[in-house]
A = this chain, B = another copy of it.
Amino acid sequence: MAKRTFPLSKVYSLLEPGPVVMVTTAHKGRANIMTMSWHTMMDFEPPIVGCVISNRDYTFSILRQTKECVINIPTVELAAKVVGCGNTSGRDVDKFKVFQLTPAAASLVKAPLIDECYANLECKVVDARMAAKYNFFILEVQKAWIAPSTKRRRTIHHLGKGMFMVAGRMIKLPSKMK
């Protein structure tokens, strides 16, 4: 999927509405994917993202060691693959192969971009002090990519047990909010 760089100052607008994302990591030449819903913006620019990655997940130890990852944002067309990645472990399978997803080289980190995702955020871990107690990692987005299209992005939002809300219509209200 052709992509252009996306301003770091606007990254919050991608993550703030709460989409399910896919976190990619790489370690010793092997890439992995993890499905994640527990994340929040923490600052606008540079964009700081907090996220919970369970210590039971394969990604946890990789992230602690490599201190880098990519947050990939899928749309509803990828829903089955998103769930598939959430229901399997990188300890057992190569998720890129099993789910036929395409790794693409990132520019600042070794973790790959998932080509099929419309947006990709290259991240470095900037604070892992809460990883032990809360499984909580603080990331800085250092490079962002987006597919240049004007069509609405149907992100998916997890409601539990495989039920997802698909992004609906947009409304605009007069606001002073960023």
Contacts and interface: CB of A to CB of B under 8 A. Distances in A.
Nearest to A171: B164
A26 to B, nearest CB: 24
A160 B136 contact: no
A137 to B, nearest CB: 11
B168 A167 contact: yes
A83 B157 contact: no
Given A16-B18, A18-B157, A168-B167, A42 B134 contact: yes
Interface string A147-178: 00000001011111111111111111111111
Contact of A12 (B16, B18, B35, B160): B160
A170 B35 CA distance: 19
Interface size, A (range): 35 or more
A171 B166 contact: yes
Contact of A52 (B13, B42, B160, B162): B42
Contacts of A158: 16-17, 177
Interface string A29-49: 000000101111111000010
B138 A173 contact: no
Given A134-B138, A158-B17, A86 B42 contact: no
A169 B166 contact: yes
Residue from A16, A17, A86, A178 having most chain B Cβ neighbours under 10 A: A17
Interface string A60-98: 000000000000000010011001001100000000000
* Closest 7 A/B residue pairs (Cβ): A18-B18, A168-B168, A162-B175, A17-B157, A13-B160, A40-B40, A83-B173
